[in-house]
Amino acid sequence: MSKQSKASDPRELREQVQKGYAEVAKGGSGCCSGSIDKQERSESLGYSREDLAALPAAANLGAGCGNPTAAAEIQVGETVLDLGSGAGIDCFLAAKKVGPRGKVIGVDMTEAMLAKARQNAEQVGAENVEFRQGIIEELPVESGTVDLILSNCVINLSPEKGRVFAEAHRVLKPGGRMLISDIVLEKLLPEELTDDLGAHLGCLAGATLKEHYLRLVKDAGFTGVEVLSEMPFESDGDGPNGLADKLCCGADADDVPRAISLKLRAVKSR
Ligand SMILES: C[S@@+](CC[C@H](N)C(=O)[O-])C[C@H]1O[C@@H](n2cnc3c(N)ncnc32)[C@H](O)[C@@H]1O
């Protein structure tokens, strides 16, 4: 991926992200998913071999940074919403758990991703999954209708994270919960990196400091905000942006800012 600057306007940046992920849907790389073995990477992120085997192969982009479904305690009959559903990996896992009385909605802004996800749904006959086009800053979902929100390595890409969390809070039922895996930073990144579109698409340059991220979740009205796990954000060093990969993965030197893959749980009060 050639070196290109990020747009400063949120709408324009979303368009850049959309273009980048349309390429990923067509077989490119994103979020440190360069030339990795997707199966291996997904297992290291907490997906079981059985879960992965039951999925349509194309549903796993290798673009996540955790497995938010694992800690979500998904119940039969629930309504689940996945923010930035990609090719549908977490939607299909959730769909099995909620069963025919439940429902899963995946929202993504990238048409090519939605096409891929819908094709996957057809392939496995997942009738309780629906993929909707929209932005996570303005969800195409009715207020107070969702039991569980999932999101995997997406909110870091949003230039308006506060809006995303406010929307997530709006659509949840009272008592509903949010389980997300995402990238946050221990230290601010150098400017040459925060400005780089490749590093943004690689889920690094859009990431914010951990404390700031947690503050935004609380400011949106969530309670019981809990970090369930943290692990270094790793790639094979061969993703879409050399510098980003070096920084996110070779984080043993003191002066290298560390990116962390965080699993977080938060609740909407009753
Ligand atoms: C890194 S991929 C993760 C996909 C999926 N969650 C997974 O784990 O495989 C990011 C996805 O989020 C979508 N996305 C990024 N920003 C978005 C936004 N503001 N609104 C809706 N979708 C967005 C992209 O189109 C892409 O499909």
**Residue 190 confidence (pLDDT):** 85
pTM of the complete model:
0.92
Residue 35 has pLDDT above 90, yes or no: no
Confidence of residue 3 (pLDDT cuts 50, 70, 90): confident
State which ligand 1 atom lies nearest to the alpha carbon of 59. Answer: 9
Q: What's the gap in Å between 255 CA and the centre of ligand 1?
A: 30
In degrees rounded to 5, what are phi and psi of residue 77? 90, -5
Residue 31 has pLDDT above 70, yes or no: no
B/e letters for 153-169, b = 16+ CB within 10 Å, e = fewer, are bbbbbbbbbebbbbbbb
Mean of the per-residue pLDDT values of the chain:
89
**Residue 200 confidence (pLDDT):** 94
Question: Within the chain, where are the H helices?
Answer: 10-25, 38-44, 49-53, 89-98, 111-124, 161-171, 191-194, 197-201, 210-219, 242-249
pLDDT digits (tens, 9 = 90+) for 140-185: 999 999 999 999 999 999 999 999 999 999 999 999 999 999 999 9
Confidence of residue 57 (pLDDT cuts 50, 70, 90): confident
Alpha carbons 45 and 68: distance in angstroms, whole number: 10
**Residue 29 confidence (pLDDT):** 56
3-state DSSP percent of the chain in helix, strand and coil, to 5: 35, 25, 40
Q: What's the gap in Å between 254 CA and the centre of ligand 1?
A: 31
Confidence of residue 52 (pLDDT cuts 50, 70, 90): very high
Confidence of residue 235 (pLDDT cuts 50, 70, 90): very low
Residue 1 has pLDDT above 70, yes or no: no
Q: Within the chain, what is the greatest distance between any pair of CA atoms?
A: 52
Fold held by 10-267: Rossmann fold (3.40.50)
User: Helices 111-124 & 89-98, crossing angle to 10 degrees?
Assistant: 40
Alpha carbons 260 and 203: distance in angstroms, whole number: 11
Residue 242 has pLDDT above 60, yes or no: no
Q: Where are the domains of the chain?
A: 10-267
Alpha carbons 109 and 106: distance in angstroms, whole number: 10
State which ligand 1 atom lies nearest to the alpha carbon of 160. Answer: 19
